[in-house]
Structure 1
């Protein structure tokens, strides 16, 4: 039979070792996060759902654009995400809040420290279907869409990092952002 005092010392020692190991792991973010942070398409979709519809007036309100119902997907073998939108176009005071067509774009992503978010990088319009314009884009609607796309890519994140994630990153810096195996992967530097 093992004396109680010996058992108490053994338990205390094991507890101390476990606490030391836990504290050591917590002191290095690599142990908690690894070398990257991964986001699923669903996480990005939830962020987009909270931020749309978006309404834009151009040319002093003569032309308006409303983007709604964003749908994000990432092809399993692709390195760019795809965003599909319903689009409402209005001119000379007509209502742009109802969808009059749709368009799709593909893009890589970049991290912007000023917004603490993932932004479109090198976005490309892939498909446009606006029946009111004969199903094709004319020069003015293409210019309006490209103007919006440039502004959106510069100023609006697709996904914004929350404070709890930034706190867990600690002093680690965000490196490159890639799209791998159907997920967005943000690589961390030491």
Structure 2
């Protein structure tokens, strides 16, 4: 067997290994940022969930700390056939002297569309709606004060904090493209780009 014939299988193996490594690198990059497909950028529920996990739990106080709510354990899902995502949270409530709000004392569900905010370079809740509340220590329903606190948090959160913030590598890929509408389509969040 000639030296050239012996090198051929080694060369083929090296090329296959290089192709496999490039494929793995490409897959991990898509998971890390998003799918950029010409005139749109698409995000999956796991990408948004990862961002939420980094930003919770959050504690909010009202009346100088007399009432506190802690939101924890966010769980995000995107229905295949709807135009709103769903967020489930565990909620901890505490009034002065009633213990810690760090332990879940109930849960609630909200649904929302999304919007892009250029100031934060992120996706924010748009028209969020509380769909379900279960707080057993309050008889299963929210009181006026706790509902007011939850709605105040929801309004502030939707205005100020993104569910997902675009990272620098994605912004670099977009270049001078303008962000257009944001829609929830077929189980994904799709950000349409204008020219």
Structure 2 equivalent of residue 152 of structure 1: 157
C-alpha separation between the residues in 2 aligned to 1:168 and 1:87? 38
Q: Number of residues paired by the alignment?
A: 159
User: TM-score by structure 2 length?
Assistant: 0.80
Q: Give secondary structure in 1 for the equivalent of 2:79.
A: coil
Structure 1 residue 141 displacement after superposition: 1.0
Matched, 1:86 2:76: no
Q: Does 1:62 align with 2:66?
A: yes
1:112 to 2:117 alignment: yes
**2:143: which partner in 1?**
138
> Is 1:76 aligned with 2:80?
yes
2:54 maps to 50
**Structure 2 unmatched runs, 5+:** 1-35
3-state SS of 1:72 partner:
strand
Distance 1:155 1:91 in 2: 26
So what's the TM-score if we normalise by structure 1?
0.82
Report the RMSD for the aligned CA atoms in angstroms.
0.9
Following TM superposition, the consecutive aligned residue runs of length 4 or more in structure 1 with deviations greater than 4 angstroms are: none
Q: Which runs of 5+ in 1 are unaligned?
A: 1-31
Measure how far apart 1:58 and its partner are: 1.1
